[in-house]
Amino acid sequence: MTEPAPLPEPRGPLSAAVRDVLLGGPAPAGVPSVADADPFGEDLQLALYLAYEPHYRALEGVADEREWDPALLGLRRPMEEAFLAALREAVPREGEGTAAVDAALEPLLVEPVEGHGVSHRLMDEGTWELMREYLVHRSLYQLKESDPQAWLIPRLEGQAKASLVAVAFDEFGAGHGERVHARLFAELMDGAGLDASYGRYLDLAPAATLATVNVMSLFGLHRSLRGAAAGNFAVLEITSPPGARRMAKALERLGAEERCVRFFTEHIEADAVHEQVMRRHVLGDLLAREPELAEDIAFGIRATVWLDDRWEERVLSSWDAGHTSLRRPLADLPDRAGASA
C-alpha cells in the first residue's frame, strides 16, 4: 500500500488554515484574507495545492472525508478566484473564435532554431545535481501524470471524448501497469538516486512549480473551465516530444541507466501522435460542437505556456546565480526517519 504523502510546513496564514482544516480542525474564526496574498506566491499556491490534493491521494494524518469538507471548499474557492483572475490579467488575448486558438497554438508548432530553456541547459551542460533538481520539480506532476486531465473526460462528447480517452489510454500504460507513465517516472527518480515516494518533495517545491500543477487541477475540476482544460492538455502533448528528446540526450550524456532514459523515450514517439490527435480530434471536435469555448481553449493554452515560462525563468535564474532552484538544497531535506536525504 502506498504511504500517504507528508504534509509540508505552512508558508503563511492561508496554507496554515488549509493545513489545520485538513487535520480535522474547525474552519478558522477569522478567514485569512486572500486579497492580501500574492496569487502566484508561496502561501496561496501551497494552500491551493493542499486543498486540491485530497482529490488525488492520501495525505499524512488527513481523513479521506476531508476531500469534500465544506470548510476546506470554503477556503479553496476564493483562492481559485484570485489565481484565475491573476492569470486572466497576465495572459494576453489575441483574436476571437477559432482564430484565437490558432494564434495560441502557432508558436508551439515550430521548434526554435536556438533554444534556451531548462531542457536545453541540461542537454548541453547539465550536471547530475541540476538533473536531480529538475526531476524534483517535475515529480509533483509526473507522479500523477494525466490524473488532472482525466477530469475532462466526462465533460466531452463524441469524437473529442473518444480521442481524449485514446490519448489517456497511452498515458496510463495502454493496459499495462508497468508502463503507466507515472510509474516510469518513479523508476527514473529511483535510478537517479531520488526518493520516488509520492509527494516526497512538496516541501522543497517553490510557488512557481506549484502553480504549473495547480492550474491543471483548477481547469480540470471545474466543468465551466473545460475549454481551458482541453487547451492545457494540448500544450502538454504538443511540447512533450522535443523536450523529451533533449532530456533523453541529457541523461545519456550523464551515463544514466536505461530505466532513467526510458521515461523520456516513451514520450518522444507517443506524444508526437498525441499532438495530432489533440489538435485535430479533441480541440477540432470540441470547437465544432461548442464554438463558444474557443477563447477559453486559447486561454488554457496561453496560461499553461505563461506559467511554464515563468517556472523556467525561476529555475534558470537560480542556476545562473549559482544556487538551488528549490526552496532549500535537496540535501537539507530529512528522510522520514529524520536522517539527511
Nearest residue to 41 via CA among 67, 20, 10 = 10
Which SS3 state, helix, strand or coil, does residue 334 take?
strand
Buried-exposed string 232-266: b where 16+ CB fall within 10 A, e elsewhere: bbbbbbbbbbbbbbbbbbbbeebebeeebbbbbbb
- Report phi then psi at 281, rounded to 5: -105, -25
- Which domains are assigned to the chain? 13-89 (no CATH), 95-332 (1.20.910.10)
The tens place of each residue's pLDDT in the chain, 341 residues long, gives 578 999 999 999 999 999 999 999 877 777 778 999 999 999 999 999 999 999 999 999 999 999 999 999 999 999 999 999 999 999 988 878 899 999 999 988 877 646 789 999 999 999 999 999 999 999 999 999 999 999 999 999 999 999 999 999 999 999 999 999 999 999 999 999 999 999 999 999 999 999 999 999 999 999 999 999 999 999 999 888 889 999 999 999 999 999 999 999 988 876 677 888 999 999 999 999 999 999 999 999 999 999 999 999 999 999 999 999 999 999 877 654 333 33
- Alpha-helical (H) ranges within 126-175 are 128-142, 147-150, 158-171
Tell me how far the alpha carbon of residue 249 is from its chain's centroid: 23
